[in-house]
A = this chain, B = another copy of it.
Amino acid sequence: MDTAILLISCRDQKGITAAVTNFIYQYQGNIEHADQHIDSQSNVFFMRIEWSLKGFALAKPKIIAKFAPLAKKFKMDYSLYFSAETSRMAIFVSEVTHCLYDLLLKFKEKQLFCQIPLIISNHSQAKKIAEDFNIKFFFSQKNPQNKLSAEKKEIAILRKEKIDFIALARYGQIFTRQFVKAYHNRIINIHHSFLPAFAGSNPYRQAYSRGVKIIGATSHYVTEKLDAGPIIEQDIVRVSHRDCLEDLRFKGQDLERTVFSRAVRWHLEHKILVYGNKTVVFD
C-alpha cells in the first residue's frame, strides 16, 4: 500500500489534531492509522498519522510545502515519510552473528521494509554471510589508535551507499561522539541485559555473578553515553541456579534477536518518536 506518514511533536495545545486531520481530509486522504500521545509531565504532544496516497489530491513533492504553514503555526517538529520509499540500512557486526542472521532472514521473508546494501565488520566471520545474501561487505579493522581514521572510511562508504539507518547487530566497538552525531537517533543497538542493569561489557557474566532470576535484552538508540540511550524495547527470560553462564548465553540469544528485530522493524516503519531520553513507540 502506498501511504504517507507524518511524525509530529510540539507543545500540547488546543486544535492540533483537528488541524492535522483537516489537512489530510481537505485533500481527500483516508487515514489508515493515527496515534497520539501527550506527555503530561512535559506537556508535549506526539502524533503519528498515516494516510493512503490513493486518491490523495496533493502530489508527494507538494505535501511538505502545503503542510509547512500549519507546522509553523503549532511550532511542530515533524518528519514526512512515504511507505514506498524504504530506508537503506547498514548492519555493523562483530564475531557473534545470530542477530545479523536474524535481520537478513527476516529481510528475505519480507518482514523488514528496507534495503540492506552494506554490512560492516571488524571481524571476518560476517564476510561469508554477506556473500550468501548478496550484500556488500566492508572490513573495518579498528583499534584505539586508528579509530578516527577507520570511522572516516566507514562514514565515506555509508554516504556512498546512501545509508539512512545503522543497526548494530552485536557490534563490540564504541563509536566516537562525531560518528554518533552524524547518525543522531539513527543507530540502534542491542544490549544483552535489561538496562539500566548490567551496562558495559560481559552483561551475562555480570548477571550470573549477581545471581538474578531473570535476564533481559534491551534495544536502544545509541547516544554518546554507553548503553544509556533512549530505550525502544526490552524483554526478559527466567533463569535459575540450574543455569550456568553458557545457558544464560543460549537463552539470551533468542531474546536478543527478538528484541532487536522488533526495534529495527518499528524504526523502519517510522513508529518511534524520541524525546529527551525516552521513546514513544506507536506499535
Q: Using CB atoms and an 8 Å cutoff, list the residues of chain A in contact with chain B.
A: 12, 14-15, 17-18, 21-22, 24-25, 28-41, 98, 101, 105, 109, 111, 132, 194-198, 210-214, 216, 230-236, 238, 240-242, 244, 250, 253-254, 257-258, 261, 265, 276-281, 283
Contacts and interface: CB of A to CB of B under 8 A. Distances in A.
B196 A194 contact: no
Q: Please tell me how many copies of the chain the complex holds.
A: 4
Given A132-B132, A250-B111, A283-B242, A28 B14 contact: yes
B14 A29 contact: yes
Contacts of A265: 250
A44 B242 CA distance: 13
B18 A25 contact: yes
29 contacts: A12-B30, A14-B30, A17-B17, A17-B31, A18-B24, A35-B35, A35-B36, A37-B241, A40-B244, A111-B250, A132-B132, A194-B197, A194-B212, A194-B216, A194-B236, A196-B198, A196-B212, A210-B277, A211-B231, A211-B277, A211-B278, A211-B279, A212-B231, A213-B231, A213-B232, A213-B234, A240-B283, A242-B283, A254-B257
User: Shortest 9 CB-CB distances between A and B: which pairs?
Assistant: A211-B278, A18-B21, A197-B197, A254-B258, A18-B25, A17-B21, A241-B280, A213-B234, A15-B25
A12 B194 CA distance: 33
Contacts of A33: 38
